[in-house]
Amino acid sequence: MPPQEVVAHVKQKDWKVIDIPGQVGPDAGDALLPLLNDPDLKVRELAVYCLDASGGKAAGQGMLKALRDPSEPVRDAAVRFLERHVTLDDVPALETEVQKNPDAYVREKVALLLGKSQQASAIPPMKTQFAREPNVRARRALSLALARLGDPTGRQAVLDRLQDKDPGQLAQAVTDLIYVGDPKLLLHTAHLLDDMRQGKNVGPSHGPIIKRVCDVVVETMDTMLNHPFSFRIELARQYSAAELGEAKVVLGRLG
């Protein structure tokens, strides 16, 4: 579809324009960017979706711009598509967003993206933001990103959460280790293999499946260590004493 025809569909708020893969081509990107200034939030939101479909440099520019949109649905769409359109050249812009974007959800998701960038330059701005971040979720994301980049401040924050008194928070802290990606951190979960408290509901709304904290540790180990166990990992299982014992042996080998 020619770029101006794509623009016309977006102005008409015709969501069918993105129904057919390839209908919005890479040549539409530059023509779509001005629509991010349209007074109609639905036009801006559809423009973000079309930029995602078009790809290319314009898509990255558009997603970064839309992170500051006054409409939450537009910002959320930009965050959802951001990772597949930004490059290492965009790291400075992301560092700015993690410090100055007024939306805590945007700061949270951008921090996690910066952690994946493997760019040490992102550590100082994230440490600055971590020290002053008022939002709990964004602060958690900052600590995880810092830990993934090897920063001691972030690493210590991750370890501190593994000592939380709440089983739900503990289960989440264990699962977060997958993002951090350092298998050595699993050594700090050894005490949790004896924690039989309910920690996480992994089932659908009509049929809850409750995982104990110890079960979450086993499954996190399985992911991070590429299935080191002799037994199967299954969604609806609670692991036996023997299986938990095997997990302790595996952890012992990491030391």
pLDDT in tens, 187-231: 999 999 999 999 988 877 667 888 999 999 999 999 999 999 999
Confidence (pLDDT) at 9: 97
Residues 42-56 have a mean pLDDT of: 97
Domain boundaries defined on the chain: 1-86, 87-161, 181-255
**CATH H-level, domain 1-86: superfamily:** Leucine-rich Repeat Variant (1.25.10.10)
* Crossing angle of the two packed helices 56-66 and 41-54, in degrees rounded to 10: 150
pLDDT in tens, 91-143: 999 999 999 999 999 999 999 999 999 999 999 999 999 999 999 999 999 99
pLDDT of 242 higher than 90: yes
87-161: in CATH 1.25.10.10: yes
